[in-house]
Structure 1
Amino acid sequence: MQEIPTVGLGTWKASPGEVTDAVKVAINLGYRHFDCAYLYHNESEVGLGIKEKIREGVVKREELFVVSKLWCTYHKKSLVKTACTNTLEALNLDYLDLYLIHWPMGFKPGEKDIPLDRSGKVIPSHTSFLDTWQAMENLVMEGLVKNIGVSNFNHEQLERLLNKPGLRVRPVTNQIECHPYLNQKNLIDFCHQRNVSVTAYRPLGGSRDGVHLMDDMVIRKIAKKHEKSPAQVFDFELTEKDMEELLSLDKNLRLATFPTTENHKDYPFHIEY
C-alpha cells in the first residue's frame, strides 16, 4: 500500500468550467491527492487539469494519488468494471490509486443517479455490498486500480466486510464525514484497531440549520492564538489542550444525511457509528 498524501483536493460541487483550473493551481501548490467521483460529473475536467500538468512536466503520474468512487447504481457485480473503466476514460488515466464504494447502498441501475419511487424514496437494487466488493477486488487483480476502500460505512458494515469469507483484498480506508461537530471518535478508533485508515470529508464542516463551523468561537480563539485562519487550525500541530477543546465541540451533527435513502436496508446512519 502506497502512502496516501495527508491533504487532498475534493472535487465535489466543483463546477465543470472551474475545476480544471482548480486542479492545475492545486498541483502547482503541491497537492498530490485528488478525490473524485462519478457522481460529481466533472471527472473529465479534473483529468484535463492533471493531463496538462503532466505534459508541462510539473508532476509525474506516479507522484499523484487519484481517488474515485463507484456510484450506487453500479453495485451489481456485472456493472462494477464498466463504472471503473468509464471513470478512467473520463479522467484520461490508465489506473486509479484508490477506488471506493461511495455508499454501502445499491440503487436500481438506469439513467437516473438517484432513482426515486412515488413517495420520493430511493429504489434499491437488492444487491449486497459484499458481492460488490468481490467485483472491486477483481479490479485490483486486473490492474485497473491499485487499492480499494469504502466510504460512508458504519462500523457494523465494515466489520461484515472485513469478516467476509474469502476476502482477497482488504479495504485500505473508510472515507467518512468528520469535523469538530462530528468527530467520529468511536468509528475512527474502530477503523484504526482493524488497520483501516480513515479519510475525512467535509473537514471544515459546512452549513446546516445556520451552523457554521468556521464561525465557532473556540476554533476562532485557537486560530488567533496560533496566528492562523480558522481553516488552518487543522493543518499543523496543536497542543493537547487545543485538541481537547476541539474534541469537546462534538454535537454529533451530521451534514451528509442522504434522507431519500433512509428506507434502504443498508442505510448506514440508523446506528450510532
Structure 2
Amino acid sequence: MSIPSFGAGTFRLTGQTVIDSVSNALDLGYRAIDTAQIYGNEAEVGQAVADSGVPRSELFLTTKIWTENYAAGKLLPSLRESLDKLRTDYVDLTLIHWPAPGNGVALPEYMAALAEAKAAGLTRRIGVSNFNIELTRQAIAAVGKGEIATNQIELSPYLQSRALTAFLKEQGIPVTSYMTLAYGKVLQDPVLQQIAAKHGATVAQVALAWALQLGYAVIPSSTKRANLAGNLKARELHLDAADMALIATLERNGREVNPAGLAPEWD
C-alpha cells in the first residue's frame, strides 16, 4: 500500500485532548496521524508532532480539504494554511473530505486543484473521502488512473459496503476505514465478544483486525493511552476463516455518518 495500514485518528478531539492523544500515539509507535481542516485541531496536532521529536521523514500526515475551500482559487491557499498549522512543508496525503454535491464547485474543478497541490509539492499523495462508486469514477477520470491514493470511507462490521469496496479493489484504490468501531456500538456485539474471548483479545482488536485482514487501512482514535496501545495489538491478531464468516453476517447497513448536503447517494 502507498499508505500506512495503521494510524491514529483525531476526529472530535480538540485542545489539550488531541495534543495528549497524538503525543501518546507517537510515543507508543504510531507514525501515521489523520486530521482534517474541519476538525479544528491541525495546530494542536502540529504542536504534538513537533514536541514528539519524531523525525518528519518517519511520519505520515493526512489532512482533508473542507467544502468551503474546494474552489480552484481557495484549495491551495487553504492547504498552505493547514501546513502552517501542522508545522510542516508538506503533508503525505490530502483528501477531498466530502463530495458535497450541489455546493457550487464541480468535481473536475476541485480534483484538478488537488492535483495542482500535489504538483506544487504541498502534498505527496491525493485522494478522496466518502465518495461512492460513480463519484470515484469521476475522480479517476479527472486526475488519472493511479493518482487516487485512497478512498477513506466509513466501514465497520455493521457497515461493510461490499459493492463499493469491491469496486475500489478492482480499481487498485486502497481503502481507509474510519468509524471501524461504529462509535463503540460494535463493542457490545455478542458475536464479536465471542470471537474476542476465543482469541483472548478485546472486541476493538477483533473489529480492527477484521478490517486489516480485508486489506483496509484503519485510523482508530482514543483519548486513553491504554486503548491506543491495545488497538495497535490488532496487527498481531489473526482471525480465522470461521471468524471472518461470522463477522460477515453482522452487516446491517449501520451507517453512523451521513450529513445532508455533503454525503453522496450511497451504493
Measured against the shorter chain, the TM-score band is: 0.7 to 0.9
In the aligned structure 1, how far is the partner of 2:46 from the partner of 2:21? 12
Does the aligned pair in 2 maintain the 1:7–1:33 contact within 8 Å? Answer: yes
Q: Please state how far the C-alpha of 1:227 moved relative to its aligned partner.
A: 0.3
In the aligned structure 2, how far is the partner of 1:6 from the partner of 1:149? 15
State the partner residue of 2:103.
125
1:25 equivalent in alignment to 2:12 = no
Aligned residues: 239
State the partner residue of 2:190.
217
Over residues 30-66 of structure 1, what are the superposed CA-to-partner deviations in whole Å (9 max), with x where a residue is unaligned?
1011000010001101100100112xxxx21111100
Over residues 81-120 of structure 1, what are the superposed CA-to-partner deviations in whole Å (9 max), with x where a residue is unaligned?
01101110111111000000000116xxxxxxxxxxxxxx
State the partner residue of 1:191.
168
Q: Please state how far the C-alpha of 1:169 moved relative to its aligned partner.
A: 6.8
1:179 equivalent in alignment to 2:156 = yes
SS at match of 2:89: coil
Greater fraction helix: 2
SS at match of 1:206: helix
1:89 equivalent in alignment to 2:106 = no
SS at match of 1:225: helix
1:231 equivalent in alignment to 2:204 = yes
Does the aligned pair in 2 maintain the 1:105–1:129 contact within 8 Å? Answer: no
Over residues 98-154 of structure 1, what are the superposed CA-to-partner deviations in whole Å (9 max), with x where a residue is unaligned?
000000116xxxxxxxxxxxxxxxxx5311121101011111111110000000000
In the aligned structure 1, how far is the partner of 2:171 from the partner of 2:194? 35
Over residues 201-229 of structure 1, what are the superposed CA-to-partner deviations in whole Å (9 max), with x where a residue is unaligned?
0011116xxxx211000000000000011
1:134 equivalent in alignment to 2:112 = yes
In the aligned structure 1, how far is the partner of 2:103 from the partner of 2:8? 31
Does the aligned pair in 1 maintain the 2:2–2:149 contact within 8 Å? Answer: no
In the aligned structure 1, how far is the partner of 2:183 from the partner of 2:117? 34
State the partner residue of 2:212.
none
Unaligned runs of 5+ in 2: 210-233
Q: Percent identity?
A: 33
State the partner residue of 1:4.
3
In the aligned structure 2, how far is the partner of 1:24 from the partner of 1:178? 26
Residue 74 of structure 1, aligned match among 69, 72, 77: 69
Which amino acid in the other structure matches residue 248 of structure 1?
A: T
Q: Please state how far the C-alpha of 1:15 moved relative to its aligned partner.
A: 2.4
Which amino acid in the other structure matches residue 191 of structure 2?
A: V
Does the aligned pair in 1 maintain the 2:91–2:123 contact within 8 Å? Answer: yes
State the partner residue of 2:223.
none
State the partner residue of 1:160.
138
Q: Please state how far the C-alpha of 1:167 moved relative to its aligned partner.
A: 3.5
Does the aligned pair in 2 maintain the 1:174–1:199 contact within 8 Å? Answer: yes
Does the aligned pair in 2 maintain the 1:46–1:91 contact within 8 Å? Answer: yes
Q: Which runs of 4+ in 1 moved over 3 A?
A: 166-169
Which amino acid in the other structure matches residue 18 of structure 2?
A: V
State the partner residue of 1:112.
none
In the aligned structure 2, how far is the partner of 1:215 from the partner of 1:44? 35
Which amino acid in the other structure matches residue 164 of structure 2?
A: L
Look at both structures and tell me which one has the larger radius of gyration over its CA atoms: 1
SS at match of 1:172: strand
SS at match of 1:68: strand
Which amino acid in the other structure matches residue 251 of structure 1?
A: R
Q: Please state how far the C-alpha of 1:168 moved relative to its aligned partner.
A: 8.2
Unaligned runs of 5+ in 1: 107-123
Two-structure CA RMSD over aligned residues (Å): 1.6
Does the aligned pair in 1 maintain the 2:9–2:34 contact within 8 Å? Answer: yes
1:100 equivalent in alignment to 2:73 = no
